[in-house]
Structure 1
């Protein structure tokens, strides 16, 4: 062996035998190295696949019979949070001495999404799990519910006080028409509600009968405490109008209006305080403040020359409901100026969430709703078309709850593109902004109905309108009357909708989970319309014809998987008579 230099590079000289041996060893090493490399590459690919599918729930996975296969953890969480306790109708019966009362505890049990989905989406190197995620083979998961002890104790307390003879009478303050009145308290007997709640929390629903003793109880607040509250904070709350501001807009509520959205409550310290009904307050405020929120706009699909593309959504602003009660409560005992806190409202669907190339191409439900035409209907048709154009192309992700009010931007104003047209308000046919949009709501409700998705919230018209399916229709009103459903199919749903000649046409494109059958009962509890004279109501319209009777009707929706009926749902509707109206002045 010697040292030599080739092209300026110093190297080592070896004999031919040594060189050949080295070459043989090199080939063997190369083969071994290649094998290790292939294994390493395969291992890396496998780990990569496991990581890629770590947040993908295997197809076929269900929670309480509802599909979450293919969903992300976030989507599945939304789905789980919509679940109702399976024992919602199971009551707890409590015997106290020689008396008894019952209550429905289910409302105190809430689905625990984190515990329910624990381990369903996580990084795992299990081959079986990876195959399930790729090919399907999910498990049937039973939801985990957690009990809210405070809510359960309140349920027990209310049930006992309303049903036990001789229960203590709670001293409190009532707000009526802007005035303060006192309800005197009185001692009585009842139960130790915390003790009973603890027993129900540990035994229900397997155990439904509970026994406890009657105990002497005083009113939660003493007469002196109620009197002091009435003369102090309660009196101040009614002393002046309340100015409520949000997003730069203000509305003023009179003391009488404020009294409709507050009450008194007694804390654990025995002192009364003002309790604000957040939902009622916001309903009142938002009915007058059309700029108090800016709804988020979801990404949606648009078509140009037959080719789909995605328009990005944008965030909005909404009132932070969790802070309303404290802000308003403080204002009522302060300067009567309540500036509500705002928070960002993010789009439910972003452009990145929509894969244009994988848009569903099969209609899972189709519905058409005809409407009257002619010169007198043009305003109504304009509103219908405006609303339909906002809905066309919306993608509802798995586990997402669709809100028609939110999708339409909440407000039916001139700035939103609407005009005045015929509406039903308090049993009267009056012109109102956005008249006709209920036709869109009815079309949406029926499309969701036949798509077999989870129906969450709808309100039928107060009176029967013959162009709509009896018992299978939905109105809409801002605020307070919405049309909601949840996509529980496990796959995205694309809404396609348009106005065609004299009808609203809507399709849900997606993967249908159930076949839907329906039947409708006959009319019952029929009530004849009455003659009514209405004075000094702007836009009032005289009834043409003899009015429409009121009645009750039941609609049944049967969800089937093959030949198996998964469940049958009953939708009960009570229509009031559409009275014969004569307008004066």
Structure 2
């Protein structure tokens, strides 16, 4: 054999031995000087390496990650994020390629620093980030224009906020096995669709023009007006598609318009009752024509948006609110309460008391329903027989159409009180009026203050009214649940009244009455046993003694 070949074979043999010997020695072990996240697993068997990693990485793998988004701190647990260390895959990665020539050389002369293989439950991660986003996200608040009286009032728009969910998921994945944070998450600002500048412009122009005059609603040859005040009470401007658009809630005005736009004989008539020989008897219902308040609201809003002052009333066939069959199942069978209040004869206010009593007479309040006096009667007007009479406004007596109807509200309040039904809204008069029971009375005006009560029984309630020239009576017919008694405290915190003089053609003298506070308890009983008590506290201001001078 030539000498050159002998030398080449020797060199090759040495190389083979140089590779084979370490390869055999390292077989089945993690290469020396191999670290995973700072944990040395070099020279260990796979089983030993897995055990060491599980032991050493567990504190970091279970450490909560503190994140901050929009200034709010939250601790996120790795288990709920679906993040964990895949120890077996990490050890396999550490041993991968260790028996190759390159791997042997690296094991002899070098070292390796590996990152753990992280297992991610993508669904769990998404769900947790989504839940976090719900605590951070804030929709933009669009500007709204409403009215205080006839004056536009603005609620300015506000920017919204949204968590960048993809970036948040990436950030918490990167923070896993770290020192626990805090990690600042990225949020994005969401602008409102309508900028503040446009809200101000609409408030100073369109919103003022919209209530500058009464609005006319027509049906055939008939027409009726929505007053400026009624229009402003139901009108608002809200963001829609990048612009502010008018919205009108016609629920409050629809009943009054309906009575003026639809002939009396064509209006729907609810089933009601008449009292025959002391027993309620059903009067059948009748379907008719009525106004859809939602469609009316849309029609008025569209007209306002177009700068118009009239709209057609959406009159359509309307079923009775209470059918004959349903009325027969309401349990209206006996008188459960009655109250009568007295007044001097023949003043203009008596006309208003009789008019409102006629409107309410025969109305049926269903189980669970809340009765609103203003909602049923609407704005008091001359067209329906109301006249000008004194009422209290800003601490003085003034004449107004419908003045005096608070006597009816007070009478009904006492029927509610002794019938055991739920008081929802009542407001006592500013001054004590001697013809009313102290602490058991209610004023009313339109649109506020209203008088509202809830039929919190499982039976219907029939309201019957009657009157003489000096009294008004309200009766409730239903199924009796309670015996109700009233108990009053002595008057306390008594305050003397001032003496004043004023002049002017509209001045009306005031007699002067002391102010005081009084407590009234409503006592609920059944079979003579007290069940509970309800306390009403009323504070009356001193009514001035006012002399009108010329």
Provide TM-score, normalisation by structure 1.
0.51
- Does the 8 Å contact 2:142/2:239 carry over to 1? no
- SS of match in other structure, 2:513: coil
What does 1:108-507 correspond to in 2, within 5 Å?
A: 220-221=191-192, 225-228=195-198, 230-231=200-201, 235-238=205-208, 241=212, 244-247=215-218, 248-249=222-223, 251=225, 265-266=238-239, 271=242, 273-274=244-245, 276=247, 278=249, 291=260, 297-302=269-274, 311-313=283-285, 320-323=292-295, 326-337=298-309, 339=311, 341-342=313-314, 346-354=319-327, 360-361=333-334, 363-373=335-345, 377-389=346-358, 391=360, 393-405=362-374, 409-410=377-378, 412-499=380-467, 502-507=470-475
Give, in angstroms, the shift of residue 388 of structure 1.
4.0
- Alignment CA distance shift 1:580-1:327 (3 Å): farther
- Does the 8 Å contact 2:152/2:203 carry over to 1? no
Give, in angstroms, the shift of residue 542 of structure 1.
1.4
Give, in angstroms, the shift of residue 96 of structure 1.
8.8
Residue 57 of structure 2 corresponds to none
Divergent runs of 4+, >6 A: 168-187, 189-192, 213-217, 256-261, 285-290, 292-295, 304-308
- SS of match in other structure, 2:260: coil
- Alignment CA distance shift 1:413-1:266 (3 Å): closer
1:78-98 per-position Cα deviation (integer Å, ceiling 9, x unaligned) = xxxxxxxxxxxxxxxxx9968
Give, in angstroms, the shift of residue 549 of structure 1.
4.0
Larger radius of gyration: 2
- Does the 8 Å contact 2:246/2:302 carry over to 1? no
Q: Distance in 2 between matches of 1:491 and 1:507?
A: 15
Residue 522 of structure 2 corresponds to 557
- Does the 8 Å contact 1:234/1:274 carry over to 2? no
- Does the 8 Å contact 1:319/1:342 carry over to 2? yes
- Does the 8 Å contact 1:298/1:312 carry over to 2? yes
Residue 512 of structure 1 corresponds to 480
- Alignment CA distance shift 1:417-1:242 (3 Å): closer
- SS of match in other structure, 2:413: helix
- Does the 8 Å contact 2:406/2:444 carry over to 1? yes
- Does the 8 Å contact 2:245/2:305 carry over to 1? no
Give, in angstroms, the shift of residue 450 of structure 1.
0.9
Query: Where in structure 1 are there 5+ consecutive unaligned residues?
Result: 1-94, 100-152, 159-167, 193-212
Give, in angstroms, the shift of residue 451 of structure 1.
1.0
Give, in angstroms, the shift of residue 182 of structure 1.
9.2
Q: Distance in 2 between matches of 1:566 and 1:503?
A: 33
1:61-92 per-position Cα deviation (integer Å, ceiling 9, x unaligned) = xxxxxxxxxxxxxxxxxxxxxxxxxxxxxxxx
1:189-212 per-position Cα deviation (integer Å, ceiling 9, x unaligned) = 9898xxxxxxxxxxxxxxxxxxxx
1:150-172 per-position Cα deviation (integer Å, ceiling 9, x unaligned) = xxx9xx979xxxxxxxxx99988
Q: Distance in 2 between matches of 1:561 and 1:355?
A: 26
Residue 83 of structure 2 corresponds to none
Q: Distance in 2 between matches of 1:391 and 1:446?
A: 16
- Does the 8 Å contact 2:162/2:189 carry over to 1? no
Q: Distance in 1 between matches of 2:504 and 2:452?
A: 36
Give, in angstroms, the shift of residue 537 of structure 1.
5.7
Answering whether residue 509 of structure 2 is matched by residue 542 of structure 1, we say: yes
Q: Distance in 1 between matches of 2:493 and 2:248?
A: 35
Q: Distance in 1 between matches of 2:363 and 2:227?
A: 37
- Does the 8 Å contact 2:258/2:290 carry over to 1? no
- SS of match in other structure, 2:543: coil
- Alignment CA distance shift 1:326-1:216 (3 Å): farther
Aligned residues between the structures: 392
Query: Where in structure 2 are there 5+ consecutive unaligned residues?
Result: 1-68, 74-133, 164-183
- Does the 8 Å contact 1:173/1:226 carry over to 2? no
Q: Distance in 2 between matches of 1:337 and 1:572?
A: 46
Provide TM-score, normalisation by structure 2.
0.54
- SS of match in other structure, 1:579: strand
- Alignment CA distance shift 1:180-1:490 (3 Å): closer
- Alignment CA distance shift 1:573-1:403 (3 Å): same
Which one is further off, 321-330 or 256-265? 256-265
Q: Distance in 1 between matches of 2:347 and 2:150?
A: 44
- SS of match in other structure, 2:353: helix
Q: Distance in 2 between matches of 1:186 and 1:384?
A: 48
Cα RMSD of the aligned pairs, angstroms, is: 5.3
- Does the 8 Å contact 1:182/1:227 carry over to 2? no
- Alignment CA distance shift 1:214-1:300 (3 Å): farther
- SS of match in other structure, 1:456: strand
Which one is further off, 242-251 or 307-316? 307-316
